[in-house]
């Protein structure tokens, strides 16, 4: 059955598991095939060409797994390689990214006269690409957009510095910058960041709408599958979690990102 084919999703490493978990919660009947390119992470400081090259290789792997959807669960790859992956995959699967659903939600009802201010934080690759900024300006020209690369957040989270003095200091240092002054909403433009969403909201005194990007993406996939009659009626098999390089520490943080114990399998697609 075509609808029972899995949803494939990928990230540079384990960050995309926040999106996988949201998908699993919203769409429990869908089988997921996750690929984390741990052999090449981080993507956040790589060039566009390199991110595109890795993304195309992973798309081929997910096509081999017969995925009906390929969701780029990494902002760095979504902002630098989406069009290339879509052109490469063609009609073999539906290709989605994690940026469009968030932009749609944040711009919903905000026309040219809206004067709200939206902040975006993410990796250097995501912020420097200008993708979020451009897409928001196109949909809601009146909205003020500001952005800031916050590259220390990924290693900070991966090393387990969450809800403690070190993470509080780093969050304060980044979020107090002039670039983000006066924002009404904040887009967490990196799939690692939902882990520190509550901490960020608290730092902002709960006065800024910090978007739950993983859930927004999962709901948008659900809407797409429903509207296109592509929902699986039952889960065809267990969810699969592949990573291109395995270390015990990936296992520990993978469980934190997926919020439950998962079985990581090493699959080096690069050799
Ligand atoms: N999770 C990736 C993203 O959403 C960032 C991690 C990395 O730099 O590889 O951009």
Same domain assignment for residues 90 and 104: no
The SS3 call for residue 130 is: coil
**pLDDT tens, position by position, 196-220:** 999 999 999 999 999 989 999 999 9
8 — phi, psi (to 5°)?
-95, 145
Same domain assignment for residues 110 and 204: yes
Same domain assignment for residues 88 and 23: yes
- Pocket probe mutation, ligand 1, options 43, 195, 244, max atoms within 8 Å of Cβ: 43
Q: Could you tell me the distance, in angstroms and rounded to a whole number, from the CA of residue 219 to the centre of ligand 1?
A: 21
Q: Does residue 125 lie in a domain region?
A: yes
Same domain assignment for residues 155 and 208: yes
Q: Does residue 21 lie in a domain region?
A: yes
Same domain assignment for residues 108 and 146: yes
Tokens 């957040």 locate to 153
Q: Does residue 225 lie in a domain region?
A: yes
Annotated active-site residue 107? The verdict is no
Annotated active-site residue 67? The verdict is no
Q: For residue 236, what is the domain's CATH number?
A: 3.40.50.1860
Same domain assignment for residues 224 and 206: no
Mark which of 190, 212, 234 sits at the end of a domain: 212
Q: Could you tell me the distance, in angstroms and rounded to a whole number, from the CA of residue 12 to the centre of ligand 1?
A: 6
Confidence of residue 177 (pLDDT cuts 50, 70, 90): very high
Same domain assignment for residues 184 and 220: no
pTM for this structure?
0.95
Q: Could you tell me the distance, in angstroms and rounded to a whole number, from the CA of residue 263 to the centre of ligand 1?
A: 21
The residue segments making up the domain with residue 116 are 100-212
Q: Is the pLDDT of residue 42 over 80?
A: yes
- Residue 119 and residue 184 in contact, taking contact as beta carbons nearer than 8 Å: no
Same domain assignment for residues 78 and 108: no
Q: Does residue 154 lie in a domain region?
A: yes
- Report d(CA 73, CA 24) in Å as an integer: 13
- Residue 32 and residue 65 in contact, taking contact as beta carbons nearer than 8 Å: no
Same domain assignment for residues 205 and 123: yes
Mark which of 195, 212, 229 sits at the end of a domain: 212
Mark which of 166, 183, 212 sits at the end of a domain: 212
Q: Is the pLDDT of residue 90 over 70?
A: yes
**pLDDT tens, position by position, 99-113:** 999 999 888 766 555
The structural domain count of the chain equals 2
Pick the residue whose CA is nearest to atom 9 on ligand 1.
Answer: 42
Same domain assignment for residues 93 and 222: yes
Nearest-atom number in ligand 1 for the CA of 46 is 8
Same domain assignment for residues 194 and 107: yes
pLDDT, residue 17, reads 96
Q: Does residue 271 lie in a domain region?
A: no
Nearest Cα neighbor of 192 from 69, 75, 48 is: 75
Same domain assignment for residues 230 and 206: no
Q: Is the dihedral of CA 222, 217, 211, 182 positive or negative?
A: negative
pLDDT, residue 110, reads 64
Q: For ligand 1, which residues put their CB under 6 angstroms from it?
A: 11-13, 15, 41-44, 74-76, 123, 126, 154, 190-192
């Amino acid at each position: 059955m075509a609808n029972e084919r899995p949803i494939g999703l990928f990230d540079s490493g384990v960050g995309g598991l926040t999106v996988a978990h949201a998908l699993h919660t919203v769409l429990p009947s869908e089988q997921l095939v996750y690929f984390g390119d741990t052999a090449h992470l981080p993507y956040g400081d790589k060039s566009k060409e390199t991110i595109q090259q890795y993304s195309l290789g992973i798309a081929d792997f997910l096509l081999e797994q017969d995925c009906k959807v390929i969701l780029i669960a990494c902002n760095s790859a979504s902002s630098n390689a989406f069009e290339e992956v879509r052109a490469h995959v063609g009609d073999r699967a539906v290709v989605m990214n994690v940026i469009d659903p968030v932009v749609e939600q944040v711009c919903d009802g905000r026309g040219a006269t809206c004067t709200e201010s939206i902040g975006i934080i993410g990796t250097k690759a995501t912020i420097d690409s200008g993708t979020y900024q451009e897409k928001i300006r196109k949909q809601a020209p009146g909205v003020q957009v500001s952005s800031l690369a916050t590259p220390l957040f990924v290693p900070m989270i991966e090393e387990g510095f969450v809800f403690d003095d070190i993470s509080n200091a780093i969050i304060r240092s980044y979020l107090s910058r002039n670039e983000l002054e006066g924002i009404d909403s904040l887009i967490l433009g990196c799939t690692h960041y939902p882990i520190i969403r509550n901490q960020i909201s608290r730092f902002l005194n709960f006065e800024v709408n910090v978007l739950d990007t993983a859930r927004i993406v999962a709901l948008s996939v659900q809407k797409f599958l429903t509207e296109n009659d592509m929902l699986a009626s039952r889960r065809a098999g267990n969810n699969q979690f592949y990573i291109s390089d395995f270390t015990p520490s990936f296992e520990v943080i993978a469980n934190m990102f997926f919020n439950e114990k998962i079985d990581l399998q090493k699959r080096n697609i690069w050799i």
